[in-house]
Amino acid sequence: MKSSEKHTITALVEDRAGVLNRISSMFRRRGYNISSLAVGKSESPGLSRMTFVVDGDAKTVEMVVKNLHKLVEVIKVSDISEENAVSRELALIRVKCDVASRSEIMQIVDIFRAKIVDVSQDTLIVEVTGNEDKVNSLVDLLGSFGVFEVMRTGTVAMSRGTSFEQDKPVSNPRILENAS
């Protein structure tokens, strides 16, 4: 296994102030590199889901997962790198555009099933959703026109299908205690 391999880890965590700081501090202290991080509310009140894309070999990822499990606010951690999973990223790309290049840019955007979400005199903002390779490819193609700015969400991911463990609603006694 290559040392620069990317792994996708998801975590269900308590949704409260300071949790992201504690988790990112754990990564920093141990020298783990996060190449992508996305956080958002989950289906359960009081809980958020995090998706990390981590560079490293299997041993490094195993240590990341073990260290995440040690944090009080972390409810569940899964390494979904080897699973059949769906992963997506959203990007906004500001591209230099004039009358002569506008139709060519629109064709490229259409091929990638992206969309133009803003038009000004000399720029377009393109929205694209897909895996990291798709986003990178579109940014590279638009680069010949002049890319002024790129804003990416980071990867979000989830295992395909269902299992008994995934189907169960999440309940966290610590959250219920804090609410009363």
6-83 CATH fold:
Alpha-Beta Plaits (3.30.70)
User: 18-70: per-residue pLDDT in tens?
Assistant: 898 999 888 888 888 888 999 999 888 999 999 999 888 888 888 888 889 88
31 Rama sector, left if φ>0, alpha if ψ -120 to 50, beta otherwise = left
* pLDDT tens across the length of the chain (180 residues): 344 688 999 999 999 998 989 998 888 888 888 889 999 998 889 999 999 998 888 888 888 888 898 888 999 998 888 888 888 999 999 999 999 999 999 999 999 999 999 999 999 999 999 999 999 999 999 999 999 999 999 899 988 887 545 444 444 444 444 444
- Domains 6-83 and 86-156 agree in fold: yes
Determine contact, residues 89/154, Cβ cutoff 8 Å: yes
Task: Check residue 33 and report its DSSP letter.
Answer: P
Which residue type, as a one-letter code, is found at position 134? K
Hey, where are the domains in the chain? 6-83, 86-156
Query: What is the edge-to-edge ordering of all strands in the sheet holding 6-14?
Result: 34-41, 47-55, 6-14, 74-79
Cα–Cα distance, 27 to 34 (Å, whole number)? 8
The CATH number corresponding to 86-156 among 3.40.50.720, 3.40.605.10, 3.40.190.10, 3.30.70.1150 equals 3.30.70.1150
Q: How many CB atoms lie within 10 A of CB 72?
A: 10
* Res 159: pLDDT: 87
